[in-house]
Amino acid sequence: MSEASTPSAADSSLSSSRRELTAAQRNAVAELLRVSPVAGELGRRFARAGHELHLVGGSVRDALLGRLGDDLDFCTDAHPDQTLRIIKGWAESIWETGREFGTIGALRDGLRLEITTFRAEAYDQVSRNPVVEYGTNLTDDLKRRDFTVNAMAVSLPDHRFTDPYGGLADLAARLIRTPGTPRESFGDDPLRMLRAARFAAQLRFAVHPDVRAAMERMAADLDRITAERIRDEFTKLLCGADPITGLRLLVDTGLADRFLPELSGLKLEIDEHAQHKDVYEHTLTVVSNAVSMEENGPDFILRMAALMHDVGKPATKAVGSDGRVSFHHHEVVGARLTKQRMKAMRFPKDVTSQVVALVGLHLRFYGYGRGEWTDSAVRRYVTDAGDLLSRLHKLTRSDCTTRNRRKAAALAADYDALEQRISRIAAEEDLARVRPDLDGNAIMELLGVPPGPIVGRAWKHLKDVRLERGPLDRDEAEAELLRWARAEGIVN
C-alpha cells in the first residue's frame, strides 16, 4: 500500500459545495481573529519588530471546528530571546518552561499563549526526546507537524491562510493524514501513532489507510517513547467523545500490545464446546455504557475501571466437566493486574488506587438478588466503596450487557432495590461516616490503656460490630468493648 505525502489531483479537486465550505471556514477564522484583539495586537508587535507570527496547529483546527478554547498556539521566525523582548511589558505574565524547545508562554486577557520558533525538529531514531533545531520558514515548520489538519496556519496581523498539505480538505472529509509520508512522520515521533488513535476518539475522524498501515508496521517503535507521554495520550483517548473507536484502533494495529497488552488479551479463544461471552466486545460495551452514565463530562476513573474490570478473566478461565466456562476470583486477579499496569504507565497513586478498588468491587453486587444480603452486608458494601459508591453504581449497571431482556430487567430491578435499600439505611444511620460508637479516648479510658496497638484493635472490633449490628447506644457499646477486652485477656 502506498503512503500519502501530498494531496493528489483527485484530492485537490473539490466539489463546489466543498469549496463553499472551505470559503466559509476561512471566513470563520478571519472573523475569529477580527474579534480577538489579543491575536491582532500580538501580530502587530511581531511585525513592528520585523518578525512573522502565525496562529498554527490545533488552534486553527479547533477554530475551524468551532471549538477554540482559551489556549492559542503561535509560531514565529523569532528566536526565544527575541520573542521575550517583543512581549515584555505587554504580557501579563511570562513563563519559559518550554524554552529548550523554542517555546515561550504568556498570559494576556485570560488567554494562554504559546509562541514557538519555527522548528526543523526530528528524533534521532534512538532517543526518547526530540532533537530541536530552529527552522527558517512556515512551510517547513508545518511539514514537521503530526497531521495535515494540524498543519494549517493563519498569519498575523494580515489573516493570510496557509494550507500547503491539504488540511482543509482533510478536515472537511474528517480524515487523519500526515503532511509527509506516515513512515517519516512516525519515525520522527512514534507517539504520533497513538495520537492518531486519540484524534479518532476525540474528533470522530477516520484514519487514512496509509496511516493505519504504517501504524501496524511501526507499532514496536512506540517502545522508544516514555511511559509518561504514552499515559497522557492514552488518557486523552479514553476521555474522548468516542473512546471505543480509539480503543479498537489500538488493538487492531498492535499498538495496545506495546503498553496495554491486557486489552488485546481479552480476545479469548472461544471453542465449540465452551461457548462464553466475547470478553473483548463485552468490555467495549461496558465502557460505552459507562460513558452514557456520566453526568459532568468525561470521568477517567470510571472509564478506566470499565476498561479493566475483566482483565483478570484470561488468567482465571476454567472449563468445568459440564462444559461451562468460569472465571472464579477474576476480580481479585484483575485488581492486581490493573495496579501493575497503571504503575507501569506512571499513573498517580491516588488515581490508580481508585480504579483498582472499583475493579475489585465490581462483582460484589451479584448474589444480592438471591436475597442473601443482610443490612450488615449493605453497610459493608457502602463502607468498602466509600467515596467511590456513585461510580460503583454506574460500573455495576454498565456491566450488565446480556441480550436476554428478562435477565437484564431482573438485574436492573435488583440494583434498583439495592440502591433503595442503601438510601433507607442511610436515612436511619450515617453510612457515609461509619465509625465505632466509642472513639479512641473513650476506649483508653474504659480499658485503662495508653495509646498503642490495643486501642487500634479495639477500634476495629467496634467498627465491625457497628457494621454488623448498626448503631449501638453508649451502654451497649461499652458492654461490647468490655466483653471483647475480657475475651482478649486485656482486662479481668
| Top-confidence residue, 54 or 5 | 54
Q: What is the pLDDT of residue 477?
A: 78
Task: Read off the pLDDT of each residue in 411-417 and give the average, rounded to a whole number.
Answer: 80
Task: Read off the pLDDT of each residue in 328-347 and give the average, rounded to a whole number.
Answer: 93
Element (H, E) at 150: none
Task: Read off the pLDDT of each residue in 348-376 and give the average, rounded to a whole number.
Answer: 83
The residue count of the chain comes to: 492
Helices 453-469 and 474-487: crossing angle, nearest 10°? 130
Burial of 106 (0-12, 13-18, 19+ CB in 10 A): buried
Any residues with CB less than 8 A from the CB of 350 and at least 6 apart, and which?
A: none
- Name the residue among 291, 300, 214 with its Cα closest to residue 249: 214
Q: Is the pLDDT of residue 5 over 60?
A: no
Q: Is the pLDDT of residue 350 over 80?
A: yes
Give whichever of 36-40, 273-277, 469-473 has the largest mean pLDDT.
36-40
When pLDDT is cut at 50, 70 and 90, the band that residue 8 belongs to is very low
Q: What is the DSSP letter of 131?
A: B
Determine how many CB atoms are found less than 10 A away from the CB of residue 281: 12
| Residue owning grid cell 498543519 | 151
pTM for the predicted model, two decimal places? 0.78
When pLDDT is cut at 50, 70 and 90, the band that residue 456 belongs to is confident
The chain-wide mean pLDDT, for the chain, equals 84
Give dist(CA 374, CA 399) in Å, integer: 23
First to last CA, the chain: 85
pLDDT in tens, 241-256: 999 999 999 999 999 9
Sequence letter at residue 319: V
Q: What is the pLDDT of residue 284?
A: 95
How many angstroms from the chain centroid is the CA of residue 135? Answer: 34
Q: Angle at Cα 134 formed by Cα 131 and Cα 136, nearest 5°?
A: 145
Give dist(CA 206, CA 371) in Å, integer: 49
Helices 300-308 and 330-344: crossing angle, nearest 10°? 120
Element (H, E) at 316: helix 313-316
| Dihedral of alpha carbons 445, 446, 447, 452, sign | negative
pLDDT in tens, 269-298: 554 444 456 889 999 999 999 999 999 899
Sequence letter at residue 365: F
Helices 191-203 and 227-238: crossing angle, nearest 10°? 10
Q: What is the pLDDT of residue 444?
A: 82
The number of C-alpha atoms within 13 Å of 140 and in the hemisphere containing its C-beta is: 13
Q: What is the DSSP letter of 148?
A: G
When pLDDT is cut at 50, 70 and 90, the band that residue 408 belongs to is confident
Quick one: what percent of the chain has pLDDT higher than 90? 49
Give dist(CA 383, CA 467) in Å, integer: 9
Give dist(CA 188, CA 181) in Å, integer: 11
Q: Is the pLDDT of residue 40 over 50?
A: yes
| Top-confidence residue, 165 or 410 | 165
Element (H, E) at 383: helix 375-385
Task: Read off the pLDDT of each residue in 148-154 and give the average, rounded to a whole number.
Answer: 94
Any residues with CB less than 8 A from the CB of 478 and at least 6 apart, and which?
A: 438, 446
Give dist(CA 35, CA 231) in Å, integer: 37
Q: What is the pLDDT of residue 291?
A: 96
Name the least confident of 7-21, 434-448, 462-476. Answer: 7-21
Give dist(CA 375, CA 381) in Å, integer: 10
